[in-house]
Structure 1
Amino acid sequence: MLEVFKNYLDSKISLTEEQHEWISSKCVVKKLRKKQYLLQEGDIWKNHAFVSKGLVRTYSVDEKGDEHVIAFAMENWWTGDRESLLSGQPSRFNIDAIEDSEIVLIEKQKFETICKEIPAFNDMQNAIIDRSFVASQKRIHDAISTPAEEKYANFIQRYPAFATRVPQSMIASYLGITRETLSRIRHKSGKKS
């Protein structure tokens, strides 16, 4: 699975074979079975995580036992709890596998060393953070000012692969709507096409 990570890096930045080998030496591959945790609420997140295979979700569970999906990540996406990583505080979130998955983990200190030693890697990471920030702003805007039908349409437009890979109940949770509302929206949009 490090080959997938290597290909991803090659698509973003130029690295020598020695740099690839050095970065690979800092990585650990973790295989997750469907429903297996990468992170559990209360644990401290200490890694940068790249999804080389599969699909994971980040979510919290409220006092009533309801799940609130914060994010999904599939192949060639990064995942983790940035707040816990930066603060060293226990995470408020869980990350688990929606499908059997393989994750490339780079421990925080090692990741910082890579960023310091390879400026192009650091630039790539900063670009990812920038895109993530913009995506978060769009998500917040949709959450507070967009009708449910439009939220779903925006989700499908931005992330078409998730429509077939993510259970509808998780999509509803991500959008902050009930499963019944999502079912109604999907039924209505199915009639239009």
Structure 2
Amino acid sequence: MNLFLQNIAKHVSLTPSEQEQVMALVTVQTYKAKTVLLKAGDVCSVSYFVHSGILRSYSIDQNGVEHVVSFACANWFIADMYSFISGRPGNLYIEVVEDAEVTEITRENQEKMYDQVPKMERFFRILIGNSLVANQQRLLDNLSFTAEARYDKFLQKFGNLAHRVPQKHIASYLGVTPEFFSAMKARMLKRS
């Protein structure tokens, strides 16, 4: 069973027929690193489930500074959810950080899934709920934790990414400059 169907099976049980219906509504694609899948200002009409590789979403502020919103590695989804759900132009870029294989689900086909395989509506509701909880926790962490504590949480959640993505992306995700991040890591190494 492919990773996408395994992920679904964690939350809902599909019959073989339902699995076929779901797979008929998605496409599997491969992308090279540095491929930009979505640009700010475009409507996000596709969500991505990562089989292998790494994707990131980020925004760029008025000063040209990138702010990493999220990473997605194997078994994770990524999209500009505001744009995907509302159908309005989004604020995020989605870029391939490491060569990736993904399952793509268009908004149109996701709606078809809900009609053809109603269990998929429950599946996506669970995912959106989990995402909301994770985003709320990240916001609270950013408001109340030190950069070191946020980095520790990053390592717990994304430990396998620490050596696979540029350090400047991790610094951005943590909300610090690359210089601060480098100095912080050096201090943490001295203490251990």
| Cα distance, 1:93 vs structure 2 | 1.0
Distance 2:166 2:2 in 1: 29
Distance 1:86 1:75 in 2: 23
9-18 vs 69-78, greater mean Cα deviation: 9-18
Indicate conservation of the 8 Å contact 2:21/2:117, yes or no: no
| Cα distance, 1:8 vs structure 2 | 2.5
Q: Alignment partner of 2:160: what SS?
A: helix
| Cα distance, 1:174 vs structure 2 | 0.7
The runs of 5 or more residues in structure 1 that have no matched partner are none
Structure 1 ranges of 4+ moved more than 6 A: none
* C-alpha RMSD of the superposition: 1.7
Deviations 1:93-131 (A, max 9, x none): 110000001221111122122123333322221111111
> What residue in structure 2 maps to residue 172 of structure 1?
171
> What residue in structure 2 maps to residue 124 of structure 1?
123
Map of 1:130-141 to 2, 5 A cutoff? 130-141=129-140
Q: Tell me the TM-score normalised to structure 2 length.
A: 0.92
Distance 1:158 1:8 in 2: 17
The runs of 5 or more residues in structure 2 that have no matched partner are none
Distance 1:7 1:157 in 2: 23
| Cα distance, 1:178 vs structure 2 | 1.0
30-39 vs 155-164, greater mean Cα deviation: 155-164
Indicate conservation of the 8 Å contact 1:149/1:185, yes or no: yes
Q: Tell me the TM-score normalised to structure 1 length.
A: 0.92
Indicate conservation of the 8 Å contact 1:49/1:104, yes or no: yes
> What residue in structure 1 maps to residue 3 of structure 2?
4
Map of 1:29-68 to 2, 5 A cutoff? 29-68=28-67
Count of aligned pairs: 192
Distance 2:157 2:30 in 1: 27
Report the identity percentage. Answer: 35
| Cα distance, 1:136 vs structure 2 | 0.6
Distance 2:152 2:3 in 1: 31
Aligned AA (1:132): S
Q: Alignment partner of 1:151: what SS?
A: helix
> What residue in structure 2 maps to residue 183 of structure 1?
182
> What residue in structure 1 maps to residue 161 of structure 2?
162
167-176 vs 39-48, greater mean Cα deviation: 39-48
Distance 1:155 1:96 in 2: 19
3-12 vs 18-27, greater mean Cα deviation: 3-12
